[in-house]
Amino acid sequence: MLLPSRETYEELVRDFAWNIPADFNMGRAVSDDWAQRDPERVCLEHFSPDGDHINLTYGQLSDRSSRLAAAFVALGVQRASRIAILLPQGFETVISHVAAYKIGAVALPLALLFGADAIEYRLNDSGAEVVVTNRFGLAKLKDVRGSLPALKHIILVGDEDDGVLNFDDLIATHPPLVAQAETGPDDPALMIYTSGTTGPPKGALHGHRVLAGHMPGIQFAHPDLGLDGDKMWTPADWAWAGGLLNCLLPALLLGVPVVSSPGQKFDPEMAFRIMAEMGVRNAFIPPTALRLLRPVENPLARFDLRLRTIGSAGESLGRETYEWARSTLGITVNEFYGQTECNFVLSASARYGVTKSGSMGKPVPGHRVAIINEKGEVLPAGVAGQVAVARPDPVMFLGYWNNEAATEKKFIGDWMTTGDQGVMDEEGYFEFFGRDDDVITSSGYRIGPGEIEDCLLGHPAVRLAAAVGKPDPLRTEIVKAFVVLKDGYEETPDLTGEIRDWVKHRLSMHEYPREIEFLEALPMTTTGKIIRRELRARG
């Protein structure tokens, strides 16, 4: 499941083989295996704004997770039971994940940014029996606990409260679990709910193999990950597939320390400070966060950055941000692609000569990706269609939780459809257009919002932008742009016209936004994706 040592992309594709052990367990792979070899090796470091940083070793992670696993068993948690983890980045989050995997339970990561209704929906839909959370999450749970019949126990981190269990007490009072669950690659381990940009969230259930499935992509986007001094960080919430599987768990499996940081609204200055102060060499930074870093002036002069690799995914990176990172940070960002159901299947890798501005890269070794039509037929280069992934594939989900109909609908034959429109060029690079329902149809043209948004971001006044189709009796739809301005700029008719012409002259007459609306902020999911259906609803 690890990339072989080769010099070219073609050699990697030719010689790669999965070789996933029959007794694979994600929890043991990221804790016990390293603890047996090097218990004092640091696996986690936590950034504190006051400079009082702390760390955790693999030996400590192994011990504490085994004690928590024993506590879970004592509480009646059984194999395949769902354990919700409603926590920010931190040691307790990792300990809870590993403990769940060790007993064969299913970890259910939830974002603290969720409101009470969103938490209630996911806990009820999953039938979670246990929630591990902090004081902030507990306040939300108290509002809905009466509506959660399956929930038996709440475990509180870092505090005491009536009617709930204490995290540290459980670890202190239980000896390490000896009889860990025997699991294989296909046994359920993790359930992550889709972000719900186009409908109610669905629980994507993954087996232990999902971690193995991410390894070639991680090593492709972060070549030679595991060199002395390597250290990983992401601003992405570990409750998201991006933060958890594009950063945290694969890095731990490779013995690379992972930096955690307090939950906060993304602060570009603080992000640079974290990377500098903690000596981060490898980062997963979603496109929206990278765009928010751009206004920071002279980052290399102001911060002692030691970055070696940056990966990015979640939305289209775009040419503007790609070129900014190259010129300002001196790093070629390796963009990659996937979704909750089947992640990290396309990637760029400058190290292996696979990089092109505006592209998501090529299929990661071990994955078969194509552009297909509605019949499941593979389309030739240059013809737009839907991005699809062939099964079987270790990184692919087992299915949607309690939703067999939705699982079947996800496939056309052996192709898992993504709902994303794209095209593959003659060199084998994939380019993303947008979600099926995001593609704009105007005067007979099919327009992807990504190129328009990327162009808008090149304007000096624009901080963030989104493009959607607005119904129009003449053209079917027109392009409407929603723009967040940078500090120091104000909405005026002149600026509106200037931004409109900026796109018209750089793209084409049919792609420029005929309407522009200025907003203070764009609606986004907890994973940083723009919720375009909310923008379309504004008219």
pLDDT in tens, 18-68: 999 999 999 999 999 999 999 999 999 999 999 999 999 999 999 999 999
**What's the start-to-end Cα distance of the chain, in Å?**
48
- Average per-residue pLDDT in the chain? 93
Confidence of residue 119 (pLDDT cuts 50, 70, 90): very high
- Dump pLDDT digits (tens) for 399-418: 999 999 999 999 999 999 99
Q: Is the pLDDT of residue 192 over 70?
A: yes
- In this structure, the number of other CB atoms found within 10 A of the CB of residue 205 comes to 25
- Dump pLDDT digits (tens) for 317-346: 888 899 999 999 999 999 999 999 999 999
Contacts of 418 (CB under 8 A, 6+ apart): 339, 341, 342, 386, 387, 388, 389
| Residue type for position 257 | P
Q: Are 371 and 385 in contact (CB under 8 A)?
A: yes
Residue 269 backbone zone (phi > 0: left; psi -120 to 50: alpha; other: beta): alpha
Q: Are 393 and 387 in contact (CB under 8 A)?
A: no
Confidence of residue 98 (pLDDT cuts 50, 70, 90): very high
pLDDT at 197: 46
Mean pLDDT of 207-229: 98
Q: Is the pLDDT of residue 198 over 60?
A: no
| Domain 9-424 annotated CATH 3.40.50.12780 | yes
pLDDT at 167: 98
367: which 2 tokens? 């994955």
Mean pLDDT of 243-247: 97
pLDDT at 446: 59
Helices 116-126, 135-144: axis angle to 10 degrees equals 70
Angle subtended at Cα 144 by Cα 101 and Cα 112, rounded to the nearest 5 degrees: 55
Contacts of 100 (CB under 8 A, 6+ apart): 27, 69, 72, 83, 85, 106, 107, 189
Q: Ranked by mean pLDDT, which of 138-142, 193-197, 445-449 comes out on top? A: 138-142
Domain boundary assignment for the chain:
9-424, 437-537
What kind of architecture, by CATH, is found in domain 437-537? 2-Layer Sandwich (3.30)
pLDDT at 526: 65
Residue 528 backbone zone (phi > 0: left; psi -120 to 50: alpha; other: beta): left
pLDDT at 508: 66
Q: Is the pLDDT of residue 528 over 60?
A: yes
- In this structure, the number of other CB atoms found within 10 A of the CB of residue 221 comes to 29
pLDDT at 394: 98
DSSP class of residue 354? B
By mean pLDDT, which of 113-122, 238-247, 248-257, 489-498 is the weakest?
A: 113-122
482: which 2 tokens? 């929603």
pLDDT at 117: 83
SS3 readout for 480-533: EEEEEECCCCCCCHHHHHHHHHHHHHHCCCCCCCCEEEECCCCCECCCCCECHH
Task: Kindly state the percentage of the chain with pLDDT values over 90.
Answer: 80
- Dump pLDDT digits (tens) for 296-311: 999 999 999 999 999 9
Tell me the Cα Rg of the chain.
23
Q: Is the pLDDT of residue 88 over 90?
A: yes
Mean pLDDT of 349-378: 96
